[in-house]
């Protein structure tokens, strides 16, 4: 038993059937459920095969010779039904994996080697061990692979070898049956002696018995390895999906996908033109002082959820959370045809989300939250920064700094949204000159931007007092 367990662990992995991560409970449950579904499939296949074989035996053997095999066919079908009843995921026990393969193989061997009581002139017993009968044993070993369990395949193979050996010994015990130990090459025999040796109906030839057992063993081992590989691939796929979900919790899906495809930790630097958006809560420091830490975190989670949804629904990349705000980009890591339009739609969606949230907070007599959004379009450099042990995907360039400055300038400009002229130029290019999307915004004369030498024309959406008619939600201008 110890030797078998070591062999099983070597092939299938310690403690579990070919699972690279035995601690993955959800994966174990899913695989056990699939094994049970395979039992249901096997039951259907057995019923179909038994019905076909019954018809063939009735036609070929006639009545009453075929009647002897109806009982075996019924037992095969009942064995599959019993397994489906007993080997449910919550009832399955290790001993069942041992018992049922031996029951099936014992039934199959008995059907082959035991005499037919309805046959008045039976053939010599060794003729029951013809090569075609061993194919039924091989078929059962192949069917065991449907359960996607290497352990079941190996146990079925072991049961086949043991039961076929027992059946052969039973044949040898019959009167008049002899055992031929001639393992030499019979090619050197005279042709008449060779024919007589091969066609002797009362001889069990060791030279045929051993290769058949070896063939069954090889089929079983190869199938077990194939199932093991399949299980490992499934487990790797599950782990890959879990890793992708975990990456998506820390990175935008676009960035997570790019990180997965990287061959080295640092990756290559990339330059492109994209829109950068900064959104931040105005006066949140005072709000945090007036609330408990738990209440503050709850507010931040609600705001981040709404802002993140606006970014993702408009095809943007949520680059990072910045305390009470976010940084997002549109056109990264791959530039698109409507990056500026998508950024403006996301900014409008954020303002709409804050309007909805503030109306809910007003019903609870909570202070309103003001959002400030700044967007700029221009050249960016994308790449990982850090070292081999820890990296961070970053957007670098003047475009990022300008977008951040525009978001900060909304305070002095009494605006909730501030767009640069470069962004508007890109928007005009995408919409073929249609400025309907910004018809409710105000154009300011060139303004100084901290860190820039030249002034910049800005477009702002003025902030309205909360509770006023002007602050009521309006339909978002259409972007064509």
Beta bridge mates, 277: 328, 375
Query: Is residue 103, in this structure, part of any structural domain at all?
Result: yes
Render each residue's pLDDT in the chain as its tens digit; 480 residues: 455 455 545 544 444 444 444 445 666 666 666 666 777 777 777 788 788 888 887 887 777 878 888 888 888 888 877 877 777 666 767 777 778 888 888 888 888 888 878 777 777 777 777 757 777 788 778 877 776 677 788 888 888 889 888 888 888 888 887 777 765 556 666 777 667 766 777 777 777 778 888 888 898 888 888 887 777 776 676 666 666 665 555 555 555 555 555 544 445 678 889 999 999 998 888 878 888 888 888 888 999 999 999 998 898 888 888 888 899 999 888 888 889 999 999 999 999 999 999 999 889 888 888 999 999 999 998 876 665 555 566 788 899 999 999 999 999 999 999 999 999 999 999 988 888 888 889 999 999 988 888 899 999 999 876 554 444 445 556 565
Question: Which structural domain, as residue segments, surrounds residue 403?
Answer: 254-471
Is residue 241 located within the same domain as residue 355?
no
Query: Is residue 479, in this structure, part of any structural domain at all?
Result: no
Of 247, 276, 295, which marks where a domain is finished? 247
Is residue 272 located within the same domain as residue 186?
no
Of 247, 275, 297, which marks where a domain is finished? 247
Is residue 89 located within the same domain as residue 144?
yes
Contacts 24+ apart (CB under 8 A), 251-254: 251/393, 252/311, 252/312, 252/316, 252/317, 252/318, 252/319, 253/312, 254/317, 254/332, 254/333, 254/334
The pLDDT score that the predictor gives to residue 410 is: 93
Is residue 184 located within the same domain as residue 260?
no
Of 220, 247, 274, which marks where a domain is finished? 247
The pLDDT score that the predictor gives to residue 23 is: 42
Query: Is residue 478, in this structure, part of any structural domain at all?
Result: no
What is the bridge-based pairing of β-strands 178-180 and 203-205? parallel
Query: Is residue 476, in this structure, part of any structural domain at all?
Result: no
Query: Is residue 87, in this structure, part of any structural domain at all?
Result: yes
The pLDDT score that the predictor gives to residue 79 is: 81
Query: Is residue 480, in this structure, part of any structural domain at all?
Result: no
Residues 6+ apart with CB under 8 A from 439: 477
- Do the beta carbons of residue 92 and residue 84 sit within 8 Å? no
Query: Is residue 409, in this structure, part of any structural domain at all?
Result: yes
Q: Quote the Cα angle for 313-314-320, to 5°.
A: 85
Is residue 177 located within the same domain as residue 53?
yes
Is residue 404 located within the same domain as residue 281?
yes
Is residue 206 located within the same domain as residue 268?
no
Is residue 160 located within the same domain as residue 260?
no
- Do the beta carbons of residue 364 and residue 384 sit within 8 Å? no
Is residue 220 located within the same domain as residue 265?
no
Number of domains in the chain: 2
Is residue 316 located within the same domain as residue 197?
no
Is residue 234 located within the same domain as residue 343?
no
The pLDDT score that the predictor gives to residue 21 is: 46
Closest by CA to 343, choosing from 397, 281, 406, is 406
Query: Is residue 277, in this structure, part of any structural domain at all?
Result: yes
- Which CATH number covers residue 461? 3.30.70.1230
Is residue 67 located within the same domain as residue 137?
yes
Rama region for 6: left / alpha / beta (φ>0; ψ in -120 to 50; rest): alpha
Task: Give the span between the Cα atoms of 375 and 347, in whole angstroms.
Answer: 8
Two structure tokens written together for 48: 């179909």
Two structure tokens written together for 231: 């299980």
Is residue 333 reached through a cis peptide bond, with omega within 30 degrees of 0 on the bond before it? yes
The pLDDT score that the predictor gives to residue 92 is: 66
């Amino acid at each position: 038993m110890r030797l078998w367990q070591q062999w099983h662990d070597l092939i299938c992995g310690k403690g579990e059937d070919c699972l690279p991560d035995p601690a993955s409970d959800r994966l174990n449950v899913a695989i056990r459920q699939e094994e049970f579904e395979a039992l249901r499939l096997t039951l259907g296949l057995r019923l179909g095969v038994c019905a076909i074989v019954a018809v063939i035996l009735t036609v070929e053997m006639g009545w009453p010779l075929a009647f002897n095999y109806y009982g075996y066919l019924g037992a095969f079908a009942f064995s599959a039904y019993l397994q489906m009843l007993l080997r449910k995921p919550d009832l399955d026990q290790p001993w069942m994996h041992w018992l049922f393969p031996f029951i099936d193989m014992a039934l199959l061997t008995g059907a082959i080697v035991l005499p037919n009581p309805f046959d008045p002139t039976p053939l010599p017993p060794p003729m029951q061990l013809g090569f075609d009968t061993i194919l039924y044993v091989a078929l059962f070993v192949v069917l065991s692979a449907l359960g996607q369990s290497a352990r079941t395949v190996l146990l079925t193979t072991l049961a086949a070898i043991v039961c076929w050996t027992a059946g052969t010994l039973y044949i040898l015990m019959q009167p008049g049956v002899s055992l031929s130990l001639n393992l030499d090459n019979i090619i050197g025999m005279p042709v008449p002696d060779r024919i007589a040796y091969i066609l002797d109906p009362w001889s069990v030839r060791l030279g045929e018995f051993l290769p058949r057992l070896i063939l069954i063993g090889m089929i079983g081992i190869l199938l077990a390895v194939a199932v093991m590989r399949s299980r490992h691939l499934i487990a790797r796929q599950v782990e890959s999906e879990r890793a992708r979900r975990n990456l998506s919790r820390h990175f935008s899906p676009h960035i997570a996908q790019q990180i997965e495809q990287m061959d080295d930790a640092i990756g290559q630097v990339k330059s492109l033109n994209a829109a950068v958006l900064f959104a931040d809560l105005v006066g949140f420091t005072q709000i945090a002082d007036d609330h408990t830490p738990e209440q503050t975190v709850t507010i931040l989670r609600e705001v981040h959820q709404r802002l993140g949804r606006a970014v993702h629904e408009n095809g943007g990349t949520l680059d990072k959370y910045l305390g009470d705000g976010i940084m997002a980009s549109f056109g990264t890591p791959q530039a698109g045809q409507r990056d500026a339009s998508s950024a403006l739609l996301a900014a409008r969606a954020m303002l709409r989300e804050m309007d909805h949230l503030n109306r809910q907070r007003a019903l609870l007599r909570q202070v309103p939250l003001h959002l400030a959004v700044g967007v700029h379009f221009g050249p960016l450099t994308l790449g990982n920064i850090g070292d081999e042990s820890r990296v961070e995907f970053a957007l670098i360039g003047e475009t990022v700094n300008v977008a951040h400055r525009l978001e900060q300038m909304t305070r002095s400009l009494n605006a909730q949204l501030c767009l640069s002229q470069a962004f508007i130029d890109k928007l005009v290019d995408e919409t073929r000159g249609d400025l309907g999307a910004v018809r409710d915004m105000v154009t300011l004369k060139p303004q100084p931007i901290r860190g820039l030498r030249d002034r910049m024309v800005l477009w702002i959406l003025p902030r309205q007092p909360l509770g006023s008619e002007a602050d009521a939600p309006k339909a978002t201008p259409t972007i064509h």
